[in-house]
Amino acid sequence: MSTITNLTRMWLTRSIKPFIFTNEFDEQLSFAECRNLGLYVHIPFCSSICNFCPYCKIVYSKEACDRYIDALIKEVHMAGRQIKSRKAVTSLYFGGGTPALCAGRIKKIIETISKHFMITEGIGVELHPDNVNVPLLQTLKDAGVTKISIGIQSFGEKHQAVLGRKNVDISAIKNALKAVSFETVSMDFIFALPGQTFEDLKSDIDTAFANGANHIAIYPFIDFTFTESPVRTMAKREKRKLLDDITGYCLDKGYIRDSIWTFSKGENVRYSSMTRDNFLGFGCSATTLLQEQFKINTFSVEEYCGRIDKGLLSTSLTIRFTLRQRMVYYLFWTAYSTKVDPADFEEFFKVPLKKMYGFEFWIAKCLGFLREEKGVYHMTLKGAFYYHYYENFYTLSYIDKMWGLMQKEAFPSGMEL
């Protein structure tokens, strides 16, 4: 697995040089001129810990949460003071963890961010199904939230049991969503679980759209080495058929595919914290992607608060991109939206896509991964599956290794990928 990933990296970056992360960081972040800049805030607290979840999280306590939010507000001001006037940004997403556990302070965080940034495309918050009640939804809406994403994972009892989740009260969710409306209501599901069938996923999707959702996300189960999940992964051939069948079903129903894993009922219904050219991340484990660098904050809540209290950024690891490395990163996550526009690439890098990767895109077309329409590359069903397939390689070779290390060390000396 790592051999395939490394060979792909060397070919695409035209270098044997690995991705080198160091424990240094810039006090000043060069985001003032970044185009299509997005924002992300990580809230790591959960009422209980799901054994399959790889994200940075700890069990909630009010004292720890209040201290963390105080530090988070300071971090936002530290970044905001680096620009002379409010900067327009695309979107703001709160992830976790369970952001609803600090719902009463979400408004303060948004107000702080709004002193430095103008959010043009809405504010999204991830929710656990238990959070979907009228008082909490109204609190979020009053704070300025316009999009919510509910981590259902599965409505089916057999798969809820596999994931260690309890049954979802569908009627309670439907009634709450009727009472408090949002621009986007997304529901997340996991696919490629043991024994999962097309009928299982079809039922989940139909139930979601019948009970308040106008957007769904179907993420593949990935077996991270540092989690304690007993769930076994599905075989490649079985997974491909399941993905193709469910994609075909959604398209036949007239749903719009706006990324590899997501479908919506309308053109302007969006929920994605990933498909952005550049972004600033606030909070522990949050990442920041800029024109020439990528950095990730410490996973330790205690160390995060300590660094911020000292007036220092909580950056744990940083990579300084070569031009080719940045291009590969750009293309990988742009392709997540199922299309790549050469005009956008050229605007970002000031060089034509065909000059840099014309051969690779020609090969992808010949293999049936892409089709070209009016100068824009669109991913085929075959291409979408293989994107998913190689994303698994990327995730287990790179993200798994990095997050596994950072779960153990607050500030590693460095690492190579």
For strand 293-297 and strand 315-320, is the pairing parallel, antiparallel, or unpaired?
A: antiparallel
pLDDT in tens, 341-360: 999 999 999 999 999 999 99
Q: Which two tokens stand for residue 134?
A: 């009228």
DSSP letter, residue 211: T
pTM of this structure: 0.94
Give residue 200's pLDDT band: very low, low, confident or very high (50, 70, 90): very high
Q: Looking at residue 363, what is its pLDDT?
A: 97
Residue whose structure tokens are 């810990």: 49
pLDDT in tens, 63-99: 999 999 999 999 999 999 999 899 999 999 999 999 9
- Is 60 exceeded by the pLDDT of residue 333? yes
Average of pLDDT values for 37-65? 92
- Higher-pLDDT residue of 133 and 17 is 133
pLDDT in tens, 220-250: 887 777 777 777 778 878 888 898 899 999 9
Q: Looking at residue 91, what is its pLDDT?
A: 94
Q: Where are the beta strands (DSSP E) in 145-233?
A: 147-153, 184-191, 215-220
DSSP H helical ranges for 62-143 = 62-80, 103-114, 134-143
Distance in Å from the first CA to the final CA of the chain: 13
Beta carbons within 8 Å of 300's beta carbon, 6+ residues apart: 284, 410
Give residue 140's pLDDT band: very low, low, confident or very high (50, 70, 90): very high
User: What value does the mean pLDDT of the chain take?
Assistant: 92
DSSP 7-62: HHHHHHHTSS---EEES---SS---TT-SSEEEEEEE-EESS--TT--S--EE--H
How long is the chain? 417
Coil/strand/helix, residue 1: coil
DSSP letter, residue 127: E
